[in-house]
Amino acid sequence: MNKNFAAHAALAAAAIIFGANYWVSKGLMPGYLSPEQLVFIRLAGAFVLFYIMAFFGGNEKIERKDLITIAVASLLGTTLNQYWFFIGLNYSTPVDIALIHVTNPIFVLSFAAIISQEKVTPLKIAGILLGSAGSVIMIVYHGDITFDSDTFKGNLFALLNTLAYAVYLIMIKPVMNKYSSVAVMKWAFGFGVLFSVPISFQSMLSVSFSNFIASAWSALVFVVVATTFLAYLFTIYALKRVEASVVSFYIYLQPFIAALITAWMGVQPFTVSKVVAAIFIFTGVYLVSGKPKKANGVTPLK
């Protein structure tokens, strides 16, 4: 299979999972779990899965300086990213959070340009603008946007969440080029669990699974296995093969995926506006994922 195609297939799969996660995670809070409890369970569960996978893969050794990079990236991309996401989702709505998340590719491209990791081209800028337009159309016709005083706190945390994830993608990219994806993720989630202890220890003492019904257990398994383990695995697989801006751009697909799921469930129809939005999004993906040219004699990271 063509490596570039495989990377895009992995990103599409991750987008499907993340698109469904807005509604799945929202169903767990606050009736079953608090944001702090959900963060710890999610990180610990994913760490166990990545540790087992790394164990059978040979437990690759990582240099000390790279472990420091992974630790800092983990603080941003696992602990704070997920903690702020769940707080935001708990206080706000899936529609609001999805709208704020479409700013992620812009942050990634901006940060990458500042540290000269990726070249900003007119095609990438055009692709981001098209993707933004498509996502806004999708979200506006998907539900009511409620940027009011009751959800301001949640929306603010969602913005912090997407900023943290943008920096994480830029920081983790060079390390991914040196080591196996599973080895890096084992350490990333290991550090993530440690960093989450101060914010989740007290609340974990009061967690109760006795009131969980079957649907709640299914949702929790989905959040740990699919949203955390598989989606992160798909993302880092792609990150080794395409630029960070391409990886982040797939967040534009998440409102589209959410709209498809609600249409399939019969909650809302898949309208002409959503078709137009999808065209914008997929065209943007094509423009942003164009093969980078050499700059100053150096080929950008792949």
> Is it the case that residue 143 has pLDDT exceeding 60?
no
Task: Indicate whether 15 belongs to any domain.
Answer: yes
Question: Residue 263 and residue 24: Cα distance in Å, rounded?
Answer: 16
Task: Indicate whether 233 belongs to any domain.
Answer: yes
Task: Indicate whether 127 belongs to any domain.
Answer: yes
> Is it the case that residue 241 has pLDDT exceeding 80?
yes
DSSP state of 242: S
> Is it the case that residue 179 has pLDDT exceeding 70?
yes
Task: Indicate whether 82 belongs to any domain.
Answer: yes
* Tokens describing residue 34: 């608090």
Task: Indicate whether 169 belongs to any domain.
Answer: yes
Task: Indicate whether 54 belongs to any domain.
Answer: yes
> Is it the case that residue 180 has pLDDT exceeding 60?
yes
pLDDT (0 to 100) of residue 74: 95
Task: Indicate whether 297 belongs to any domain.
Answer: no
pLDDT (0 to 100) of residue 50: 92
pLDDT (0 to 100) of residue 299: 28
Task: Indicate whether 298 belongs to any domain.
Answer: no
Residues 205-234 have a mean pLDDT of: 91
Domains contained in the chain, number: 1
Residue showing tokens 């990219």: 173
User: What is the overall mean pLDDT for the chain?
Assistant: 79
Nearest to 123 by CA among 249, 213, 214: 249
> Is it the case that residue 133 has pLDDT exceeding 70?
yes
Of 271 and 165, which is predicted with more confidence? 165
Range of the domain at 237: 3-288
pTM for the whole structure: 0.74
pLDDT (0 to 100) of residue 48: 95
Do the Cβ atoms of 248 and 81 come closer than 8 Å? Answer: no
> Is it the case that residue 257 has pLDDT exceeding 80?
no
